[in-house]
Amino acid sequence: MTGPVDHYRTLGVPIDAAPEVVRDAYRDLARRLHPDWVVDPSKRAGSAERMAEVNEAWRVLGDEGRRAVYDRSRSPTPAPRRPPMGSPVDDWPNGRQGDSFDGVKVSPAAGCALRVGPVVLALAVMLGILIATAVLGPEGEVPSRMDAGRCVELATTVRVVPCTVETPMIVARGVAGTTCPMVGASAAVAVMLPSRTEQICVAPPGTPVP
């Protein structure tokens, strides 16, 4: 089955050829293919058929309006676009497009609060966790208060322990940076608490404490 005639191919010009290029190609073919110029009688019939094709190509491409219609007819019709497959949630009645809040207008202040609110809430939760961690012990229990008269264990952390002859005793507690009192012949040692704002004054093990 013969397909549609390609007039551009018949004249031997590209599809974006300028009108003068199309005209020159037609004139050149007409001079070479016109039956009156064919000497061999056996070739005149073929020449006439070929000339008819050239004349039809020139009739279409030589006219601006016919050429535009012809070009449009050559362009394949695009297939209809299918909508993307999605879940029923994306449908208009049920999904985001049909969300009942789509038409709600929000003021700039409310919109800012909606954007910043979750961040503030998250920061508040984190701060609460940090405070709880600082107040509670490693097992979630409130540690004994480091007051004067209690004994402590000094290691990587400071914690209250039962008093023995080998444990230092707290003789005072106060603001960080203050001078510790004298205990016997020497001054107690200042130990900074984790809060960095308070300190305890600790007497070395075996120091008689009044």
| Distance of alpha carbon 134 from the chain centroid | 37
pLDDT at 183: 76
| Distance of alpha carbon 207 from the chain centroid | 65
pLDDT digits (tens, 9 = 90+) for 89-107: 455 455 555 455 555 666 7
CATH topology of domain 7-74: Helix Hairpins (1.10.287)
Q: So where are the chain's domains?
A: 7-74, 114-143, 151-203
pLDDT digits (tens, 9 = 90+) for 8-61: 999 999 999 999 999 999 999 988 887 777 667 777 778 888 989 999 999 999
Indicate the residue type of 40.
Answer: D
Q: What is the pTM of this model?
A: 0.36
The first and second tokens of residue 26, run together, are 């037609």
